[in-house]
Amino acid sequence: MIMSAKIATRHLSRQACIYIRQSTMGQVRLHQESTERQYNLMAQATSLGWRPEQIRVLDRDLGQSGATMTNREDFKVLVGDVAMGQVGAIFSLEAPRLARSNQDWHRLLELCAITNTLVIDEDGCYDPAEFNDSLVLGMKGTFAQAELHIIRARLHGGKLNKAAKGELRFALPVGLVWDGDQIVIDPDQEVRGAVRMVFDLFARESTAFGVVQRFNELGLRFPRRAYGGAWDGNLIWGRLTHSRVLGVLANPSYAGMYVFGRYQSSKEVEPSGEIRSRSRLMPQDAWRIVIPDHHEGYISADRFVVNRERLAANRTNGEELPGPVREGLCLLQGLLLCGVCGRRLSVRYTGNGGIYPIYQCVWKHREALAPRACLSVPSAPLDQAITDRLVSAITPVTIELALKALTNLEERDREVGAQWRMRIERARYEAELAERRYEAVDPANRLIAATLETRWNDALQRLHDLEAELTAFEHETMHAVTAEQKRHILALAQNFPRLWSAPTTTSRDRKRILRLLVRDITVTRGPEPKIVRLHVSWQGGETEVLPLRLPQNRAEAIRYPEAFVARIRELSIDHLDGDIVALLRAEGQRSATGKPFTVGAIRWIRYKHRISAPKPPAGSLSVCQVGERYGVSLWVVHYWIARGIISPTRSRPKGPYAITIDAALDQRLRTWIAKSGHLHPTSPTLTA
């Protein structure tokens, strides 16, 4: 009767919305009684006076959580219809099913109060426009949100407690399966072989992409396990992808570790304004629970760390990282840094067919910050300089000294570690003492019990922090090398030059060896041309500067020095080209290209450096001077030479004529011109 008293004609004239929701699809499948009870609300709406055509069922939100409006399309429709004044009453099995977020809940109640919309559930009929009903509905929404938090915290606490013991079951990566409460390696030999093949190929190829290529070349397949649906639990074999390789190499379960909390949920605000929860990968130090040696793995924990570091070093989107080892012949690829801008130097192959590689920094030029590249140096001299330094540095004596220094560091680290362990032992004693004091107190004495509990928790927290600090110290600072490893290192130092130059050692192997010893190399220009300085940063922290003179280019290599040009200039004063060639050959000198000197070579040197030929003898005239003297053209003079009237001399073949004219020849030429009928001399000496 109370419920019917609040229902007025204005409510019955509008539609009645029955909102149906279950939080998860599992509840929809397994708890069908709740869904059936919600559909039965249609009969209740009919009994309260709404006609069947006025009743609207909103059931598209089945399997959706009520914590937010995200993905709840029917709830959005309901809010819109209420705001338009089209809804007379909202039916729900429980009012908190409408929303478990106070923000969404109070927004809906405010709209219902403005549009005179009723909220009806199993407990009664509520009019949000009335203060008492609004207060009750507000408290119900608050309790619903608090209940959601309590349930989530209770479930999550149970999961953490079970995960701390390594008993929480979750989906395992392919190659590992659950055997009761234990994680074991998959009994399928093909699956085990495929997983081990990934780790073995990565040890050889050093890149995830190289593993994918080798898998495809060998025609191998890689499995994945299906979860959910008709294929739940079955293995599906297919092509290995790059993302799968990265997932396998970065998964600590393959190293025998039980890890909980690698992925954690975080809320983000979408551009549309909606708040969504996304799962993101956490860094290793933020994993909630890590239990090493929990089960048998495919690789060791040390190899897992090495694989992670190698993947991080293979990244190409960081300028300070060396990048992966490539197949090219350039030894220092990825290790060189520009001394001008600090960026990595790239490799460029020039020449016919790319047979002349160079190291080049083009970042500023590419970004239009400079008109040309910062650095451009040939690769061969740099590679050879580092190779020579590496071979000379790796000797048994230096290795033995390094191992002795490492042994001293190990002893020092052991002493420091002993101090850490004694400190942890004291903190553990204090935590146990605080626990005994808490257990000995009377539970009825709440004031003292609360204080002792706080001290116990503080002692446990200090113990946990100290253990975490010790783990970080051992991982980052402490050094440990076994005697067998030291013996192998000494043996390698004795055979290192032969190993480095062996034809079976590939370029990739040399690059891997180099990166074990050298962190990076900064290239700077020297004050002199063709001088660069290599600032080598070794892995141990030492630095070294190697000056290097670059080879000259072809034009500079065949250019004659100034001293030689000066000598040719001196010899050209009184020697012909042929005489100069004879002198140089007698001295055993050769041209810039290594060939014997020729007249053409001497002639080119004189032309290039503008060296004049030997001057003609005193009193001799040239062809032009003879023509001017007798007032005839050059053709006449050459006619005289061809007929033997004039007998000139030459300082070199095809060189200029040197003509000597005595008194008899002078009289003969004048007579020739006077008797000629077609020569008209213009020289004043002839006409005078």
- Give the length of the chain: 688
CA separation for the pair 248, 222 (Å, rounded): 11
Cβ(137)–Cβ(109) under 8 Å?
yes
- Longest distance between any two alpha carbons in the chain, whole Å: 160
DSSP letters of 448-470? HHHHHHHHHHHHHHHHHHHHHHH
CA separation for the pair 515, 322 (Å, rounded): 9
Q: Residue 57: which H helix or E strand, with range? A: strand 55-58
Cβ(59)–Cβ(34) under 8 Å?
no
Q: Residue 424: which H helix or E strand, with range? A: helix 396-440
Burial per residue of 395-432, b for 16 or more beta-carbon CB atoms within 10 angstroms, e otherwise: eeeebeeebeebeeeeeebeeeeeebeeebeebbebbe
**Cα 355 to chain centroid, rounded:** 28
CA separation for the pair 615, 610 (Å, rounded): 14
Cβ(58)–Cβ(81) under 8 Å?
no
- Residues contacting 168, CB < 8 A, separation 6+: 159, 162, 260
CA separation for the pair 40, 293 (Å, rounded): 55
Which residues are annotated as catalytic? 23
Q: Residue 687: what are its φ and ψ, rounded to 5°?
A: -85, -15
The three-state secondary structure class of 674 is: helix
